[in-house]
Structure 1
Amino acid sequence: MRRPLVALGALALVAGCSIGTPPGDDAAGDGQTVPTTQSNVDVDTPELREAKAAAGIADCAPGDATDGGLPDLTLPCLGGGPDVRLRSLKGPMVVNLFAQWCEPCRDELPYYQRLHEEAGDKLRVVGIDYLDTQPDGAIELAAQTGVTYPLLADPGGALRQDFRVRGLPGVVFVDADGEVTNPGGRPTFTVIRSYSQLTDLVREHLGMAL
Structure 2
Amino acid sequence: MSKPSSPRTTFRRAALIGAVAAFGLLVAACGDQKAEVKPQADATVAGADQLAPCPSVESRPPVANALPDVSLPCLGDGPDIRLSNLRGPLLVNVWAQWCGPCRKEAPYLAELHVKAGDKVKMIGIDYIDTRPDLAVRFAVEQKWDYPHVADRDKQIQQGLKIGGPPLTAFVDAKGAVVYVHRAPFTSQQELDQLVREKLGVTW
Q: Secondary structure at the match of 1:112?
A: helix
1:201 lines up with 2:194 in the alignment: yes
Equivalents in 1 of 2:51, 2:76: separation in Å?
Answer: 9
Residue 176 and residue 137 in structure 1: after superposition, are their counterparts in 2 closer, same or farther (change >3 A)? same
Residue identity in the other structure for 1:198: L
- Cα deviation for residue 63 of structure 1 reads 2.4
CA deviation string 1:118-152 (max 9, x = no partner): 11111101100011111111111112211121001
Match of 1:70 in 2: 67
Residue identity in the other structure for 1:51: G
Q: Name the structure with the higher helix share.
A: 2
Q: Any stretches of 5+ residues in structure 1 without a counterpart?
A: 1-43
The Cα RMSD (Å) is 1.6
- Cα deviation for residue 199 of structure 1 reads 0.7
Match of 1:61 in 2: 55
Alignment check: 8 A CA contact 1:98 1:128 kept: yes
CA deviation string 1:141-184 (max 9, x = no partner): 112211121001001111111111111111000001111001xx
Question: What is the correspondence of 1:14-163 to structure 2 with a 5 Å cutoff?
Answer: 46-48=43-45, 50-53=46-49, 56-64=50-58, 65-68=60-63, 69-163=66-160
Alignment check: 8 A CA contact 1:45 1:79 kept: no
Residue 172 and residue 96 in structure 1: after superposition, are their counterparts in 2 closer, same or farther (change >3 A)? same
- Cα deviation for residue 209 of structure 1 reads 2.2
Alignment check: 8 A CA contact 1:45 1:80 kept: no
Between structure 1 and structure 2, the one with the greater Rg is: 2
Equivalents in 1 of 2:166, 2:81: separation in Å?
Answer: 21
Equivalents in 2 of 1:59, 1:166: separation in Å?
Answer: 28
Give the TM-score taking structure 1 as reference length. Answer: 0.72
How many pairs were matched up? 160
Q: Secondary structure at the match of 2:178?
A: coil
Alignment check: 8 A CA contact 2:54 2:79 kept: yes
Give the TM-score taking structure 2 as reference length. Answer: 0.74
- Name the % identity: 42
